[in-house]
Amino acid sequence: MPYSTSGQAALRRKAASDLVKKLSFQLLHSEELAYDKPQE
């Protein structure tokens, strides 16, 4: 059991880090779009 538990924890950590990377990338990208777009 402890093996599968640690495995799930590792999967959750990987998913969380992937999510953070994705969100930070989208945040940077949206900021770039906001800068490129002329403010009306």
The pLDDT tens digits for 9-32 are 999 999 999 999 999 999 888 877
Q: How far is CA 15 from CA 6, 11, 21, 25, 30, in A?
A: 14, 6, 10, 15, 22
- Cα(29)–Cα(23) distance, integer angstroms: 10
Per-residue pLDDT, 10: 92
DSSP assignment, residue 38?
P
Q: How far apart are the first and last CA of the chain?
A: 59
Q: What pTM did the predictor assign? A: 0.55
Per the structure, the complete domain to which residue 30 belongs is given by: 1-40
Tally of structural domains, the chain? 1
